[in-house]
Amino acid sequence: MQRAVKTPLEMFYHWEQTTPDKIYLRQAVNGGWDELTWADTADRVRRLAHYLRSKPWPAGSRVSIWSANSRDWIISDLAIMLAGHVSVPLYPGQDPDSARYVLEHSDCQLILCGQFDQSAHADAAIPSHIERVALHGCSIATATSLADICTNQARFDESPLPDLDALFTIIYTSGTTGRPKGVMHLHGTPGYVVPEMAENFLMNEPDSRLFSFLPLAHAAERIVVDMCSIYTGSSVSFSAGQETFAAEIREVQPTFFFAVPRLWIKFKEAIDAKVPAAVQAGFDDAQKLEIATMLGFGSARRIITGSAPCPRDVQQWFFDMNIILRDGYGMTENFIQGCAWLHTDEPILGSVGKPMTDGVDVRVSDAGEIQFRSAGVMAGYYLNLEKTAEVLVDGWYCTGDSGRFDEDGNLYVTGRISEVFKTTKGKFIVPAKVENLFARSPLLAQFCVFGHGRNQPLLMATLSELGREQSEPQLKTELAALLAEINQDLPNHERVEQIFVTPEWTIDNALLTPTLKIKRHQIEERFNAGVETQLGSEPVSRLD
């Protein structure tokens, strides 16, 4: 009797047996593509699984992956499952301190290392007792490599069926407000969530092509690329890096693509730099298709933006180019089984739409918090019963996001409940609401509205590439005009008193999480002295 719910391993067995000669994984190398069929992939997965099973560890031991995206990432993910162990991904940009915390907290036994940003600090980040295995792009010392394992190891040829309720991965959150939390998901979770999600993403067509660029350690990319490819048999192409990304995606022309707002902004800037806005305004449908094809989306059936709000002017620009950029809203904690605009070609700007799959319940509590209930909700936070009890209440996952529904049942995310602050006037400020207004400016890139205990809200922001090209007088004049324009439409208590332009916030300077979310407390703390010095001096001030 076949099980109604299929685990990722069962789908892997299916494609291995039914389409062994179909190309599955494509790695960009030296201007070309190194391709693996399902049979090739299965051979590597089974040899790595044999290696992992040869270790004297109990079933369910933790194995980490610390690597930029490559075909070896998916091979490693499948091999860890097949070996009966639990995967613990690290972000390529994870700082050494939090990486070490995750490895120690999860009791990791082995780490599979590819290219990652902190490789120079590997010895500080990776406890000495943890064995290292090299993947594609690895530059640190390791005990062996996937290439050597695939040459010298025997295959594990059994095809066990995992328990649906057994742990298959611990995905640690990016740690916006503290230590990362380990989100536990079970082998059955993808089977409940992914098939319908992939169908709504139009991935079941024979020509379905995926392109992986955002970190696979991020739940969204792992689910919509790694997991969806395993459930649909879609091919996956991996970029060689930022320098070649544009040419590679243009060549692949994926039928589905997911990215965060910063990438959509860069796509738009690339076209704006080549084609004046006045010329773009006169484009017919054929010319718009040329733009879509130039960006790599000439064959795209679904394009999703998520992780943070996309500036409305940027999203509108894509709409105007006939590139329907659909909002998606989900979390690591619910296997990203949230809301999206999937059932209409006319999304509403600013809304994340309705539940993306059947079986997803969403509500806004009396306190204004968005809450989800579905089969995708996590088993809990690893070794953290207190935090688990805080966010899982009667089967509902409490997101910490504030939101509202419109009269048609479309959901709007209005901010983080924990980020709301009060000015000296006793008025509450929702930072995201005000920040989204400033996102209309092509001169600014990152935003942080703050002002707890101050008379009025203040804004810290970084400059976009266009903003950095402006002369200082011109920049201050334009931003002062923007400030006045936005304040004119805001109630008195929400009007921003001053803009402070700061250097860029990055993962390396600890002002962004590995998933590119801003660390508000750290940003305020870093620049507080400068704010105090220049407060009230002029509408727009520079901070070092």
pLDDT tens string 431-454: 888 888 898 888 999 999 998 888
At 421 the pLDDT is 82
| Rounded Cα–Cα distance for residues 160 and 503 (Å) | 52
Give yes or no for a contact between 474 and 461, defined as CB atoms under 8 angstroms apart.
no
At 1 the pLDDT is 43
At 514 the pLDDT is 76
Q: How confident is the model at residue 176 (pLDDT cuts 50, 70, 90)?
A: low
243-280 residue pLDDT tens:
899 999 999 999 999 998 888 988 998 899 899 989 99
At 88 the pLDDT is 98
CA dihedral 114, 116, 118, 120 (to 10 degrees): 50
212-225 residue pLDDT tens:
988 999 999 999 99
Give yes or no for a contact between 119 and 68, defined as CB atoms under 8 angstroms apart.
no
For residues 152-158, give the mean pLDDT.
96
Which of 282, 277, 404, 264 is closest to 326 using CA atoms?
Answer: 264
Q: Which CATH architecture has domain 226-415?
A: 3-Layer(aba) Sandwich (3.40)
Domain ranges across the chain: 8-23+33-188, 226-415, 420-542
Q: 8-23+33-188 and 226-415: same fold?
A: yes
Q: How far is CA 433 from CA 260, 341, 421, 428, in A?
A: 19, 21, 12, 12
The mean pLDDT of the chain is 92
The label of the residue with tokens 């997991």 reads: 227
Rounded to a whole number of angstroms, the CA Rg of the chain reads 24
At 175 the pLDDT is 66
85-134 residue pLDDT tens:
999 999 998 889 999 999 999 999 999 999 999 899 999 999 999 999 99
Note the CATH number of domain 420-542.
Answer: 3.30.300.30
For residues 142-157, give the mean pLDDT.
96
| Rounded Cα–Cα distance for residues 260 and 516 (Å) | 9
Which residues is 88 bridged to in the sheet? Answer: 64
What tokens appear for 525 in the block?
A: 């703390």
pTM of the predicted model, to two decimals?
0.86
Phi, psi of 88 (to 5 degrees): -130, 90
| Rounded Cα–Cα distance for residues 179 and 390 (Å) | 16
Percentage of the chain with pLDDT > 90? 71
Instruction: Show the beta-strand stretches assigned E in 383-427.
Output: 392-393, 396-405, 411-416, 421-422
Question: In a 3-state reduction of DSSP, which class is residue 127?
Answer: coil
Lowest mean pLDDT among 16-25, 375-384, 420-429: 420-429
State yes or no: pLDDT of 285 exceeds 90.
yes
| Rounded Cα–Cα distance for residues 1 and 499 (Å) | 65
For residues 279-286, give the mean pLDDT.
94
Note the CATH number of domain 8-23+33-188.
Answer: 3.40.50.980
